Structure 1
Amino acid sequence: MTAPTAPAPTAPALSPERADLLETLALHRGFLRYTVQGLTDEQATRRTTASELTLAGIVKHVAATERGWADFVVRGTAAMEQEPEDWSAQWVLADGETLADVLADYEQVAARTDELVRTVDLDLAHPLPEAPWFPPGAVRSARRVFLHVVAETAQHSGHADVLRESLDGQKTMG
């Protein structure tokens, strides 16, 4: 198996900034998907380090996080004020849920985000809700949200790479 490469942007009318965002999102999503390639559900849910993290849980969490931030871009603060999902549930497969299910959901989330990157005003901004992890009065533009999704995906891809290497020695890179 070879590590993924970012696909060339398919929409020639995209600005360089939008094309860069899409390419970078695709690259880091590809790393994450590559890391779980060929795993059984049992392998994808096995803890391979001292942490509680599993490969399937990481993919599920990244999809939930991306979905939440895409909702914020569309709906603003209201997207974060709804009753929060059980945070711990986004890290484990539910009864009957498979790695394939989580990957399919992630594909749908990615497609929606990509469409937003192509079409939304990148300067569109919304205030963040009051929370201990946000500075008081903070505002986030769509551009900054998409950059955060890139960072979140890249960070968790790295976590997944460590878990996969601990599972069977496979490395995404190197």
Structure 2
Amino acid sequence: MKTKRIWMWSFVFGIIAALVAYVVVFPAPAPVPASTTTAVKDDGKKPEQEPELPGREMNNKMIPAAEGMRAVSLKVTGLEQGVSGYIEPNSHIDIIAYESTRDEKSKKEMRTAKLVLQNIKVLASGKSADGTDEALRYETVTVEVTPAQGVELSLASRDKDGFYFMLRGKDDAHIEKGPISFSREVFKEGESEE
């Protein structure tokens, strides 16, 4: 039994020695009152920038919308976008919407183009589908509109067959009066005009 007693006392003294060593090596921090303020010394060094976390890559600049205005992104379909890569932030454009209808009486398919909005500021021209050496084709164009114009564009984007963008001159602020739209019959390959 003497050996068992020696091991028990060794174990107890080992635990006590470990606790004392822990308290000596890792003392408790002094409590700081909540109302204490400390002066920050400005040594002229800029604070280190936190590294950006990987996430959405922003290749294209976007201008913020003016107060009271909204930003609406329009999908650009195929090569029918209009000005093939020349739309940039701060450009002004006119937006044309397309619609295809079928005349039930004559069984003819009609295509209509309507000038939806004029002199609209471009905030961003979305993700480029090509490299920088080629003509740029964009997947989206983000424009600045009033809330009413935004509703009109959202309706046109759902009901129409796509948009066409016309780039305006830098100093061109002229607005055409009245609705502007044109319709024509769609001729398919193999059909002839009568």
Fold match (TM-score > 0.5): no
TM-score (norm 1): 0.25
Q: Which has more helix, going by share of residues? A: 1
- Structure showing greater Rg: 2
Q: Which has more strand, going by share of residues? A: 2
TM-score (norm 2): 0.23
